Amino acid sequence: MQVFLLFIGIVGLGVGAELIVHGATSLAKRYSLSETFVGLGILSIGTDLPEIAIAIDASVRNILGDVGSNIAIGSAVGSAIAQISLILGIVAMIGSLHITRRTLYLYGAGLLGSITLLFLTLLDGMLTRLDGAILVLFYVSFFGVLILNRRSADATPSAALPTPAHKPWFYLMFGFVLLLGNAELTVSTSVALAHQFQISEAVVSVVILGIGSSLPELSLSTWALLRKKAGLSLGNLMGSNILDTLLVPGLAALIGPLAVHPTTLWVDLPVLLGITLLALFYLSSSPRGLKKWHAGTLLATYGLYVLVRFGGAAVG
């Protein structure tokens, strides 16, 4: 039964991703929007809904007396690390990911700026409501820059489209429901199977749940790339990471102040910054797309990070 549910979840991920890519492509054509803008500004918000929900829930639990501070921040940072290394590496192994220099410099600066700002706000060991407001305002400002640059060089000119205007939005919303619902089904079924085969809790949390929180990004980015929509794929990953380091902890901190674990500040965030710099360097030095060895390096880096964190947790 669990295997059947796992199969249903994986199929559902593909169906949801296909609907989202279809809807996003239709929106880009109808309104002459760049695929990168749609990926950064629209798809990233939808695929990051699980991270937003986790952070808000952890923040509320923290107010009620449960220990939730580090979950709120750590889950967002961990998801960002997985997306810029593991997910980007997997997608780059499947097809060619490329982006224009102008777009790369503009949104790459947003990526690096968001990580730096989160680090600075966490230096005192706390993320206050003021810090949260700063992070949210920075994201709103970034979104404003997205809107101003929505019709960049890779935009598709609008034409007389017979499709009703509401249909792309319907595809997007229904696709997101399918994508997020089946991501939850896939993760919960995988955890149940792991317990059935007596796989350790540590492996379940680090591997299954770590990858599971990024299943929406993985499914959508892979499907978009298979449909020759590299802008949607890469834009979704970059936008998700900016959102993970700004809006997710920002919203959580607005609910209540959060304490940060030193490991998150001095290990996870520097790792995220280093991997992001590496990924941006690869993208800038390879205008025709990430090479397979680039992808292999990113995957190996994530594997090394998991081993180090795993070892540190075991020692601790």
Range list of β-strands (E), the chain: 126-127, 258-259
> What CATH number is associated with residue 276?
1.20.1420.30
Does residue 154 lie within any of the structural domains?
no
Cα Rg of the chain, angstroms: 19
| Strand partners for 259 | 126
Burial class (CB in 10 A: 0-12, 13-18, 19+), 41: buried
Cα distance from N-terminal residue to C-terminal residue, the chain: 37
Does residue 201 lie within any of the structural domains?
yes
Question: 257-305, pLDDT tens digit by residue?
Answer: 988 888 889 988 999 999 999 999 999 998 788 999 999 999 999 999 8
| Domain count of the fold of the chain | 1
Does residue 51 lie within any of the structural domains?
yes
pTM: 0.83
Does residue 109 lie within any of the structural domains?
yes
Question: 61-95, pLDDT tens digit by residue?
Answer: 778 776 556 667 877 888 899 999 999 999 999 98
Does residue 305 lie within any of the structural domains?
yes
Does residue 155 lie within any of the structural domains?
no
Does residue 156 lie within any of the structural domains?
no
Give yes or no for a contact between 239 and 84, defined as CB atoms under 8 angstroms apart: no
Range of the domain at 186: 2-149+163-315
Question: 6-16, pLDDT tens digit by residue?
Answer: 788 878 887 88
Q: Which residue has the tokens 């994508």?
A: 179
According to the model, what pLDDT value does residue 204 have? 52
Does residue 112 lie within any of the structural domains?
yes
Question: 91-120, pLDDT tens digit by residue?
Answer: 999 988 888 888 899 899 999 999 999 999
